[in-house]
């Protein structure tokens, strides 16, 4: 178990933004995690799709990235919650398993991907998740959760567009079972490379960001709406609407969380004024 005190959360965020957390715990196994966890904690993965506040974060944080084992069993992959989805996708491709091509460039853990029902390029987690091992919600007694686990099937995840049941409970994803399909490894890798090239061409690779800030609405791209409102490149402090893809906000240098929040609010107001559409954030705010 790794225990960090007064830790800068900008070091654990793809946005490179965040204040100081009083206590951060990094369990190195599922058993360590189950022995530690209670509802007193905030649990995160690789820090994508998360905006940390600028101030002191008093609530203790657990980071899952050391719980990263996964293995292949036929057409299935069983992965601990902290395994990076990029690593799982690459391993699947090399072993001739198709279904994860969409995830080959998502900088998140599989736990985070299930939590968000992450997707890209026409694919999403709900298409491939067979079951998940879950740690039950408890009343805050550390250690009491160690044996309180159960398995849910795909339907019980209540997947929706960028959502799942886990966004409405304090239950925790421990491990997930994916069901994939056999295919030619070269074809799978070709499709993954196509997606990666498309991402490089159309998204702000190399700049700190949180991915897409807003959800699609009835199939309409938020980035398209934002661009039509003339907001590409609009900047508040160190936060900027990406000049490459208006659905992204990028940190162009020492952006604060407040800069990002102010920019989000400005974008939402502008799109509502001009389009009559209310945008909804995709990111999770932790303060």
Pull the structure tokens for residue 205.
Answer: 């690779």
> 171 in helix, strand or coil?
coil
- Catalytic-role residue among 48, 145, 209, 212: 212
Q: What is the C-alpha to C-alpha distance for residues 240 and 15, in angstroms, rounded to an integer?
A: 12
Task: Enumerate the β-bridge partners of residue 133.
Answer: 151, 175
162 is catalytic: yes
Q: What is the C-alpha to C-alpha distance for residues 150 and 155, in angstroms, rounded to an integer?
A: 15
Q: Do the beta carbons of residue 198 and residue 121 sit within 8 Å?
A: yes
* Long-range Cβ contact pairs of 261-267 (< 8 A, separation 24 or more): 261/51, 261/285, 262/236, 262/237, 263/234, 263/235, 263/236, 263/239, 264/213, 266/234, 266/236, 267/213, 267/214, 267/226, 267/229, 267/231, 267/234, 267/241
DSSP strand pairing (235-236 vs 209-212): unpaired
Query: What's the farthest any 2 CA atoms get from each other in the chain?
Result: 54
Q: Is 240 left (phi over 0), alpha (psi -120 to 50) or beta?
A: beta
Secondary structure of 16-85 in the HEC alphabet? CCCCEEEEEEECCCHHHHHHHCCCCCEEECCCCCEEECCCEECCCEEECCCCCCEEEECCEEEEECCCEH
Task: Enumerate the β-bridge partners of residue 21.
Answer: 7, 57
- Catalytic-role residue among 7, 101, 126, 162: 162
Task: Enumerate the β-bridge partners of residue 271.
Answer: none
Pull the structure tokens for residue 241.
Answer: 């609407």
pLDDT block averages, 10 residues each, the chain of length 287: 97 96 97 89 93 97 97 97 96 96 92 93 94 79 60 96 91 96 95 88 88 86 94 97 95 96 98 94 92
- Catalytic-role residue among 80, 133, 171, 282: 282
Determine the pLDDT at residue 260: 97
Q: What contacts 206, CB < 8 A, 6 or more positions away?
A: none
What H or E segment, with its residue span, contains residue 228?
helix 222-228
212 is catalytic: yes
Phi, psi of 73 (to 5 degrees): -135, 95
Ordered by where they begin, the domains of the chain are 2-63 (3.30.43.10), 70-188 (3.30.465.10), 204-286 (3.90.78.10)
Q: What is the C-alpha to C-alpha distance for residues 189 and 186, in angstroms, rounded to an integer?
A: 5
Q: What is the DSSP letter of 214?
A: B
């Amino acid at each position: 178990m790794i225990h960090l005190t007064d830790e800068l959360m900008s070091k654990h965020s793809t946005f490179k933004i965040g204040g100081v957390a009083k206590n951060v715990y990094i369990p190195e196994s599922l058993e360590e995690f189950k022995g530690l966890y209670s509802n007193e904690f905030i649990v995160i993965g690789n820090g994508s799709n998360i905006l940390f506040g600028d101030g002191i974060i008093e609530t203790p944080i657990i980071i899952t990235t050391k719980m990263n084992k996964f293995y292949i069993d036929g057409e299935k992959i069983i992965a601990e919650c902290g395994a990076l989805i990029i690593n799982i996708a690459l391993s699947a491709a090399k072993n001739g398993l198709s279904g994860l091509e969409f995830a080959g460039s998502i900088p998140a853990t599989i736990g985070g991907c299930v939590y968000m029902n992450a997707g890209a390029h026409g694919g999403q987690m709900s298409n491939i998740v067979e079951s998940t091992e879950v740690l039950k919600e408890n009343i805050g007694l550390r250690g009491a959760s160690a044996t309180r686990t159960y398995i849910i099937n795909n339907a019980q995840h209540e997947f929706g567009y960028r959502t799942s049941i886990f966004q409405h409970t304090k239950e925790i994803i421990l491990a997930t079972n994916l069901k994939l399909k056999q295919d030619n490894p070269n074809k799978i890798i070709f499709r993954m490379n196509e997606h990666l090239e498309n991402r490089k061409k159309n998204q702000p690779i190399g700049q700190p960001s949180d991915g897409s800030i807003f959800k699609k609405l009835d199939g309409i791209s938020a980035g398209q709406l934002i661009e039509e409102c003339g907001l590409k490149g609009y900047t508040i402090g160190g936060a900027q609407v990406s000049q490459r893809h208006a659905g992204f906000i990028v940190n162009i240098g020492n952006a604060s969380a407040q800069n990002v929040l102010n920019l989000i609010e400005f974008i939402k107001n502008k799109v509502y004024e001009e389009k009559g559409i209310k945008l909804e954030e995709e990111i999770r705010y932790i303060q």
